[in-house]
Chains A and B, each alone.
Chain A
Amino acid sequence: GQSLEQPSEVTAVEGAIVQINCTYQTSGFYGLSWYQQHDGGAPTFLSYNGLDGLEETGRFSSFLSRSDSYGYLLLQELQMKDSASYFCAVRDDYKLSFGAGTTVTVRA
């Protein structure tokens, strides 16, 4: 089976940088995805790391280290609209297994 750990909550001010860590234990690992979910809404795909290293998409970046079974999502230049839950998810052949999510609260 799969096991993922990520912090439950993070609070930061507008303009700050937030890093959400994700550690995992799994078999048949293909890569690590990140999703954002606003309160009451559906999750939306943010990024995917299939290989070690950093992937950058605008203000968001994601990193993976397979040897450490570790990844993170970096949110830069935080904006109020970034207040949401963020989920890491490990990919195997046919499916994703999601972590419990990190609630990010951005304060003015």
Chain B
Amino acid sequence: SQTIHQWPATLVQPVGSPLSLECTVEGTSNPNLYWYRQAAGRGLQLLFYSVGIGQISSEVPQNLSASRPQDRQFILSSKKLLLSDSGFYLCAWSEDGAVHEQYFGPGTRLTVT
């Protein structure tokens, strides 16, 4: 069966510090991968998606970036965090062609202080 891992679960970082969140998927090949951010009590904002290694599409211009160095690994990064980067970051995967059915990791709750 497929499993998606995200770490860390919680993170408190000062403004201006770098960020690296990692997501890995097991039990499937060539998945579509997604990064979302969710503000408290709000919907999910798609940040990046990837349909293959090295293929990244950005949905929202901001100080975040994403990389997919391996088929089942998706990394979200920032060189300098802003207060507005605080939120719940969720990684998700889907089968290619089944974009409507996404499976989410447990999420990382980021607080920028």
Contact = CB atoms under 8 A, between A and B. Distances in A.
A87 B49 contact: no
B46 A97 contact: yes
A95 interface: yes
B100 A33 contact: yes
Interface string B69-98: 000000000000000000000100000000
A89 B102 CA distance: 11
Contact of A42 (B34, B59, B106): B106
Contact of A94 (B99, B103, B106): B99
Nearest to B48: A95
Interface residues of A, number: 23
Tell which of B42, B100, B101 has the most Cβ of chain A within 10 Å: B100
Given A42-B105, A95-B49, A95-B59, A87 B100 contact: no
For chain B, the bracket of interface size reads 20 to 34
B42 A94 contact: no
Given A42-B104, A42-B105, A43-B90, A96 B99 contact: yes
B44 A95 contact: no
Interface of B: 32, 34, 42-46, 49, 51, 57, 59, 90, 99-107
Contacts of A30: 99-100
A94 B90 contact: no
Contacts of A93: 99
Contacts of A94: 32, 49, 51, 57, 99
A101 B100 contact: no
Contact of B103 (A45, A96, A101): A45
A79 to B, nearest CB: 22
A98 B99 CA distance: 13
Contact of B102 (A31, A45, A92): A45
A92 B45 CA distance: 15
A96 B102 contact: yes
